């Protein structure tokens, strides 16, 4: 009887160890601030951030990020996608724990990466364990099923491309009612909204500015967290005034004349709307003297 109880207890212990191993992702510390994971379906990855510091998430080169989803406050988090397989994230103030879901596609299948993100205000100089904050997270792709099976080497056709938010917005619902002021080099070449989202497209030969929403009463500015869809920047919401900043001095204002009248002391310039169907498409000259068609292929 004792032997039977010992065997049952040993089986329970082994079951707990197996479950714990499955819940803990395999990780490799490349250096003090870089960690590498092997992808495992259904796994949640911990990511510690410090306010004001940028962290880079690097997926396998063959994978393309197709969607990033989170319930995080856009005023707290700033994200960008500098390359198809790269994702950056920064917090501007401590906003509590949050989860991020990032979906990729490698031409064969989708993968969903689940992150549990925590933030701290500052890095403690005497911290005994500096590991929680990571500046770079790298992922290694697991072997594909066809490699494991050693059978068919014909890749599965990728699923049909889902239309972007811009492509899904009919021309009749696009409001091209924007004017700019300030530094024209920072202004978008195209700006419009569909009543729910604001779409901005910048000249490809210039860096993108940081975008703020300006309170029309107090003048206070709030950082927004836009997302990228192809060459377009999408801001969630429609506002009377956006402020675009690059560095500490250069800035421009973007006025939605459907909602607000620009300040009388502001010298404004027009933000062009694309040529309508059936009209000649003119390619306006940018400030460098080159021509640029801002909405080609749309």
CATH number at residue 61: 2.60.40.10
Q: Phi/psi of residue 184, each to 5°? A: -65, -25
Residue 136 sits in the same domain as residue 208: no
Residue 201 sits in the same domain as residue 252: yes
Residue 41 structural domain: 23-142
More confident site: 182 or 5? 182
Residue 130 sits in the same domain as residue 177: no
Furthest-apart CA atoms within the chain: distance in Å? 92
The pLDDT of residue 257: 94
Whether residue 156 is contained in a domain is answered as no
Count of the separate structural domains present in the chain: 2
* Listed range (10-24, 44-58, 249-263) with the worst mean pLDDT: 10-24
Whether residue 103 is contained in a domain is answered as yes
Query: DSSP alpha helices (H): ranges in the chain?
Result: 2-23, 145-149
More confident site: 256 or 50? 256
Q: 27 is written with which tokens?
A: 């990780």
Answer positive or negative: Cα dihedral of 155, 160, 162, 166: positive
What is each CA distance from 32 to 133, 136, 154, in whole angstroms? Answer: 9, 10, 41
Mean predicted lDDT score pLDDT of the chain? 74
pLDDT at residue 295 greater than cutoff 80:
no
Residue 124 sits in the same domain as residue 178: no
Beta-carbon contacts of residue 253 (< 8 Å; ≥ 6 apart): 180, 181, 182, 214, 241, 242, 243, 244, 262, 266
Find the mean pLDDT for residues 123-145: 64
Residue 115 sits in the same domain as residue 204: no
Residue 87 sits in the same domain as residue 187: no
CATH code, domain carrying 224:
2.60.40.2500
The pLDDT of residue 272: 72
Find the mean pLDDT for residues 283-295: 36
The count of C-alpha atoms lying within 13 angstroms of the C-alpha of 17, restricted to the half-sphere facing its C-beta, is 6
Whether residue 105 is contained in a domain is answered as yes
* Listed range (66-80, 127-141, 160-174, 225-239) with the worst mean pLDDT: 127-141
* Listed range (58-67, 152-161, 184-193, 222-231) with the worst mean pLDDT: 152-161
Residue 197 sits in the same domain as residue 138: no
pLDDT at residue 68 greater than cutoff 70:
yes
């Amino acid at each position: 009887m004792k032997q039977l109880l010992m065997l049952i207890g040993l089986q329970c212990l082994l079951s707990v160890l197996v479950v714990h191993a499955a819940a803990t992702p395999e990780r490799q510390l490349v250096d003090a601030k870089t960690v590498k994971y092997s992808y495992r379906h259904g796994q949640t990855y911990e990511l510690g951030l410090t306010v004001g510091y940028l962290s880079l998430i690097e997926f396998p080169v063959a994978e393309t990020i197709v969607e990033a989803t989170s319930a995080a406050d856009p005023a707290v988090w700033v994200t960008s996608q500098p390359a198809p397989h790269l994702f950056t994230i920064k917090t501007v103030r401590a906003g509590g724990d949050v989860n991020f879901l990032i979906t990729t596609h490698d031409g064969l299948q989708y993968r969903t990466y689940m992150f549990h993100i925590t933030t701290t205000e500052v890095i403690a100089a005497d911290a005994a364990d500096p590991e929680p904050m990571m500046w770079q997270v790298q992922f290694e792709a697991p072997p594909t099923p066809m490699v494991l099976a050693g059978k068919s080497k014909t890749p599965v056709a990728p699923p049909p491309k889902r239309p972007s938010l811009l492509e899904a917005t009919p021309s009749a619902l696009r409001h091209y009612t924007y004017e700019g002021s300030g530094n024209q080099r920072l202004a978008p070449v195209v700006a419009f909204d569909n009543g729910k989202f604001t779409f901005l497209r910048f000249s490809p030969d210039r860096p993108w500015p940081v975008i703020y929403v300006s309170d029309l009463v107090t003048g206070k500015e709030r950082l927004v967290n836009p997302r990228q869809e192809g060459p377009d920047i999408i801001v969630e919401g429609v506002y009377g005034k956006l402020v675009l900043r690059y560095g500490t001095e250069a800035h421009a204002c973007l006025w939605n004349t459907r909602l607000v009248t620009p300040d009388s002391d502001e010298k404004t310039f027009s933000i062009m709307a694309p040529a309508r169907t059936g009209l000649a498409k003119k390619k306006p000259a940018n400030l460098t003297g080159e021509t640029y068609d801002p909405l080609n292929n749309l």
